[in-house]
Amino acid sequence: MVHPNGENPGWLEVAIEAAPELRDPLSAFFFDLDVTGLVWEDFGNRTLKAYLPLEESPEDIQNRISTYLNHLTLIHPHLPPPRFRLTKVENQDWQRNWRRHFRPVRVSSKLLILPVWEEMPPDAEETHIIRIDPGPAFGTGQHATTKMCLQAMESFGSNESQTLLDVGTGSGILAIYGVQLGFGEIEAIDVDPEAVRWAERNIGLNGAQNTITLSGTGIEEIQGRFSLVCANLILSELLRLMPAFSRLVETDGHLVASGILRDQVERIREALPAAGFFTSRILYEDEWACMILGKSGE
């Protein structure tokens, strides 16, 4: 639907209440719809919010969403059926609605995440501050999976001999923190070109463009070994990539694996011996877990 004067006639906010296991398929679905903004943080009611320009009728969008949610329900009959609602918002309201989801986040006593439009809090005492323009990429520091990755990273890195690989970098936030923690060599990869574009912006916002090697390279093409590999992915991807992680983590190095639900931890544990990893520590927040895995000697 094209507006007569060429301007966008408004936006459609889609709010879906769904189980966390559906985060990734729902995100992929909305990216295919050319979503302009996508938020799935812990709002307390597991709500995903997507913002779409009103370029087609709301009824058509509603039918497409209903069809896809019915498909998901058939695939995941053990999960509560997702519920959704549509709300029209004016042009001037979209930016305000989008931005209000992103507030400063104190990840730890050492780290504060600031959306790029926020002023520095007068009482900020954190050692490290990361500026983020969320865009459509996952990883703002607000979701438990990202937050625990950042907390886990604080146990590593303090000299230039430490190296970091950020797999599925999203917004680039983990790679940026790697710079601030003192890692000497940092590589960030994501096969999604849109994620790479937003990661590049965030890396520039934090003055880290000369330290981080950012690319859309697949993990299978990455060479060398790293002191620390971080992967905030879904369970199936973590399990599929375990042989690659084993190849890329140096002896006595570590893998930080997040994006795991509490009841999926045992699935990861079962895959560790074959890959040469052992469980060093596990962080928990709400229904999520982040596993810090050590690489045993060869």
In a domain, 112, yes or no: no
Range(s) of the domain holding residue 167: 134-295
Q: Is residue 248's pLDDT more than 60?
A: yes
267 and 204 part of one domain: yes
Residues 51, 139, single domain; the answer is: no
| One domain, residues 139 and 287 | yes
CA–CA separation, 291 and 298 (whole Å): 21
- For the chain, what is the domain count? 2
Same-domain check for residues 286 and 145: yes
Flag whether 184 is in a domain: yes
Question: Residue 243: is its pLDDT beyond 70?
Answer: yes
Identify whether residues 38 and 181 lie together within a single domain: no
Check residue 27 and give its pLDDT: 78
Q: What is the pLDDT of residues 85-103, one digit of tens each?
A: 888 877 655 556 666 667 7
Could you tell me the end-to-end alpha-carbon distance of the chain, in angstroms, rounded to an integer?
Answer: 61
Q: How far apart are CA 117 and CA 150, in angstroms?
A: 22
Looking at the structure, tell me whether residues 51 and 144 fall in a common domain: no
For residues 86 and 144, state if they share a domain. no
Query: Listing from the earlier edge strand, what are the strands of the sheet with 47-53?
Result: 37-40, 47-53, 11-17, 83-89
Token code pair at residue 219: 């993990």
Question: What's the CATH code of the domain at 67?
Answer: 3.30.70.120
C-alpha closest to that of 13 among 31, 43, 38: 38
pLDDT at 215 over 90: yes
Q: Measured over all CA atoms, what is the biggest interatomic distance in the chain, rounded to whole angstroms?
A: 67
Q: What is the CATH number of the domain that holds 212?
A: 3.40.50.150
pLDDT at 8: 54
Q: Is 32 helix (H, G, I), strand (E, B) or coil?
A: helix
Q: How far apart are CA 139 and CA 145, in angstroms?
A: 9
Spatial separation of the C-alpha atoms in residues 271 and 105, rounded to whole Å = 33
pLDDT, one tens digit per residue, over 142-169 is 788 899 999 999 998 778 889 999 999 9
Q: Is residue 149 domain-resident? A: yes
Mean of per-residue pLDDT scores for the chain: 85
pLDDT of residue 236: 86
Q: In what order do the strands lie in the sheet with 105-106?
A: 105-106, 111-115, 128-132
- How far apart CA 20 and CA 66 sit, in angstroms, is 18
Clarify whether residues 261 and 182 are in a common domain: yes
Question: Residue 115: inside a domain, yes or no?
Answer: no
Q: Is residue 277 part of a domain?
A: yes
Residue 119 lies in a domain: no
**pLDDT above 70 as % of the chain:** 86
In a domain, 120, yes or no: no
Give the model's pLDDT for residue 43. Answer: 42
Give me the mean pLDDT over the 239-264 stretch. Answer: 94
Residue carrying structure tokens 């790679």: 175
Task: Name the burial class of residue 140, with classes exposed (0-12), middle (13-18) and buried (19+) by CB atoms within 10 angstroms of its CB.
Answer: buried
pLDDT of residue 232: 93
> Do 95 and 140 share a domain, yes or no?
no
**Which pLDDT belongs to residue 2?**
31
Q: Given a cut of 50, is residue 5 above it in pLDDT?
A: no
Q: pLDDT-derived band of residue 9, with 50, 70 and 90 as boundaries?
A: low
Mean pLDDT score, 13-29: 82
Residue 228 structure tokens = 């620390």
pLDDT in tens, 24-65: 788 778 877 777 666 765 444 567 888 787 777 888 888 889
pLDDT at residue 136, as a whole number: 56
- CA dist 104 and 277 (Å) reads 35
159 and 254, same domain (yes or no): yes
Examine residue 116 and state whether it is found in any structural domain, yes or no.
no
Q: Model's pTM, two decimal places?
A: 0.76
Radius of gyration of the chain (CA): 20
Greater confidence (9 vs 134) lies with 134
- Whether 149 and 256 map to the same domain: the answer is yes
